[in-house]
Chains A and B, each alone.
Chain A
Amino acid sequence: MDKMPEEKTREPIIELVDVWKIYKMGEVEVKALRGLSLDIYPQEFVAIMGPSGSGKSTLMNMIGCLDVPTKGKVYLENKDISQLYESDLAQIRGQIIGFVFQTFNLMPSLSALENVMLPMTFQGVDRRDREKRGRNLLTMVGLEQRMNHKPTELSGGQQQRVAIARALANDPDVILADEPTGNLDSKTGKEVMDMLTRLHREEGKTIVMVTHDPSLSTYVERIIQIMDGKTTEHLNHNHKYGGIEDEKK
């Protein structure tokens, strides 16, 4: 429990303050988030865990700027995004956040390389630079032999590695991983987790992982439990790589 006060002295990179998200399903109102608050600090590796229906997907959408709250504030790098329009959100998503999805979500008609280049396209990066960075990233995730393969020609693990390379395309500060191993067998799942860990340790990325798989908790520094749209966070004592943050400082 000695680390908490130290972390609080830093500026959070992601801050949610009393966030409510209410969906209207016909006549019924569903309160997915009920006054949830949380802070995530730069270079943290955090897991958001909770049973299905707990609101963790909704929370991930908030953090990822894919959705705006009904009530409350969401700050991303000190910017209040809860009042922004979709087009501004899109730019912020493209620059600050890299997504890794459970279902990979690659564009089926594009090659691995083109998929990695896509986020840079929307930031107006020059084609030559895009291609160069795309190749570097794919080499980094060990897919230098698969650059021109379509997603359907790749295994699940390979697709997820393409997705990780894509998430890194615009060199975002935050990687948001939604059940990144959910569709993978345990061996490739471990490879993907190791890769995320490496990004966290070596590149200093802030990684927020949403999962319901307790076995992944060994990788993360902090677990934010979500239950009925509210958080109960605690430090992770199972953390394998404990103390890394201190070394870095």
Chain B
Amino acid sequence: MIEDYFKLAIDGIKHRKLRTGLTMMGVFVGIIAVVALISLGQGLQNLINEQFESVGGDKLSVIPGGEDALMAGVPGSELVSAKLHESDLEVIERVRGVDKAAGTIMSTGIVEICGKKKVVTVFGIPTEPERLSLLKELDYFQIEEGRYLKQGDKYKAHIAAKTCDVLDEELDVGDKLTLEGHQFDIVGKNKETGTPVHDQKISIPLETAQDVFNKTDEYSMISIKIDEGADINEVEERIEERLRKHRDVEEGKEDFAVESPQSLLGVFLDIINMVTLVLAGIAGISLIVGGIGIMTTMYTSVLERTRQIGIMKSVGARNSDILLMFVIEAGLLGLVGGVIGVILGILLSLGGEYLVRMYIVTYSIYVSSELVVGAIMFSFLIGCISGYFPAKRASEMKPVDALRYR
């Protein structure tokens, strides 16, 4: 029985191809946007998740500024007035549960090549073996060619796997480069880490960085590895307590933030999730417009087929039969629009994925089955809801009047 309604509904749709197409377009434009945004957003979340997972669960980091500094963006940003000093690092190193700690400077520097100036991220890294090994563990770098920076190095530098791409210049171990007006010898080249910021940087000895960037006794970030078996949350709390005492600030008014990758991850994911949902929600509004389109089309269609409704009633169709028939027809408009929208939406986000891969990183969109099924169901539902009122009007027509309609 129900398949007969579908057949009648499809017959109805097939006879008005242009109008049907236009109506569906109203639906699938919205669905395209929603599907593309969500699959791109979920891909981004996955990417960040992976990046954080590679960092590991026994690491903490301390950055200057309060919790809001984290939201402000890059650690070590000039917007944050509070600083971290060598004394803070020493305090942290003495906290129970802390295995190793190392301070780094992160800044942007200008490299001059053939008269052209390029902006590069520069890391000042400690050269003491203990601290250096922590940074190696943190995946800041692994040497592929040449050697690590060692104690006593001054104007020496590593380049990362993709630094040359940023500089637009082929550089190798043994070459020289000019950073902030100083000449550096390139002594090593890092393996690719997969993290953009670490693959495009230049690393120089900490003391040199402090000189070059005029940041004497200043760290952009302190990285910490905790003792094996220690509870990361307890260590985090102890560090916070000690630093508060050392820096003489009250609880709740900290001018620093201790972050575990997990908490950072949480913040990032929340933000991305929120942005994705807001954008998808805005795109979703266009679905209401699509629904109104379906409603308009269905009202026209009901009017056009008044006589046919009369015929069907005269051969025994009940009001409920007519209602169901038109609701299904409207639902099908939504459904087909939804399917087209999902397909085009996935194609669109694949295009986005291709673009991102070309310029930045290995990034994959994520199309969940929930998204696909949900989008299609939703558009079917929108069709049915929009079709209900026109269908109701059709079903309540008096057979006599409907048959007389020209």
Contacts and interface: CB of A to CB of B under 8 A. Distances in A.
A94 B400 contact: no
B316 interface: yes
Contacts of B321: 90, 122
A121 B312 CA distance: 10
A109 B400 contact: no
Q: In terms of DSSP, what is the predominant structure of the interface of chain B?
A: helix
A154 interface: no
A94 B315 contact: yes
Interface string A150-169: 00000000000000001001
B403 A93 contact: no
A99 B269 CA distance: 67
Given A109-B11, A110-B11, A93 B398 contact: no
Contacts of A93: 313-316
Contacts of B313: 66, 90, 93
Interface in B9-59: 11-12, 14-15
A83 interface: no
A108 B16 CA distance: 13
Contacts, number: 70
A86 interface: yes
A225 interface: no
A177 to B, nearest CB: 13
B348 interface: no
B91 interface: no
A95 B187 CA distance: 95
Nearest to A169: B315
A110 B313 CA distance: 16
Given A107-B311, A121-B1, A90 B403 contact: no
A247 B394 CA distance: 48
A90 B316 contact: yes
Interface in A87-104: 87, 90-91, 93-95, 99, 101
A206 interface: no
B398 A67 contact: yes
Given A67-B400, A109-B11, A119 B308 contact: no
Interface in A178-193: none
A109 B318 contact: no
A61 interface: yes
Interface in B289-339: 307-308, 310-321
Nearest to B395: A86
A124 interface: yes
Contacts of B320: 87
A170 interface: yes
B399 interface: yes
Given A109-B15, A121-B1, A66 B316 contact: no
Contacts of A148: none
A123 interface: yes
B399 A66 contact: yes
Contacts of B312: 107, 118, 122
A238 interface: no
Interface in A55-82: 61, 64, 66-67
B332 to A, nearest CB: 15
A87 B324 CA distance: 14
A45 to B, nearest CB: 21
B314 A121 contact: no
Contacts of A124: 1
A99 B15 contact: no
Contact of A119 (B15, B307, B310, B316): B316
Contacts of B314: 64, 66, 93, 99, 105
A90 B308 contact: no
B318 A87 contact: yes
Nearest to A65: B399
A118 B399 CA distance: 16
Contacts of A61: 400
Given A87-B320, A107-B308, A122 B400 contact: no
B4 interface: yes
Nearest to A86: B319
A152 to B, nearest CB: 12
Given A66-B399, A66-B400, A110-B11, A122 B311 contact: no
A107 B400 CA distance: 17
B316 A170 contact: yes
A86 B317 CA distance: 10
Interface string B380-406: 000000000000000000111001000
Contact of B4 (A99, A105, A121, A170): A121
B317 A90 contact: yes
Contacts of A67: 398-400
Contact of A105 (B311, B319, B400): B311
Contacts of B14: 109
**Residue among B307, B311, B317, B400 with max Cβ neighbours from chain A (10 Å):** B311
Contacts of A87: 318-320
Contact of B315 (A86, A108, A122, A127): A122
Nearest to A176: B314
Given A67-B398, A105-B314, A107-B312, A90 B319 contact: yes
A119 B318 CA distance: 11
Interface of B: 1, 4, 11-12, 14-15, 307-308, 310-321, 398-400, 403
Given A67-B398, A107-B311, 8 more contacts: A66-B313, A67-B400, A86-B319, A90-B317, A93-B315, A105-B403, A118-B312, A123-B316
Interface of A: 61, 64, 66-67, 86-87, 90-91, 93-95, 99, 101, 105-110, 118-119, 121-124, 127, 166, 169-170
11 contacts: A64-B314, A66-B313, A66-B399, A67-B399, A86-B319, A90-B313, A105-B307, A105-B310, A105-B311, A109-B11, A122-B315
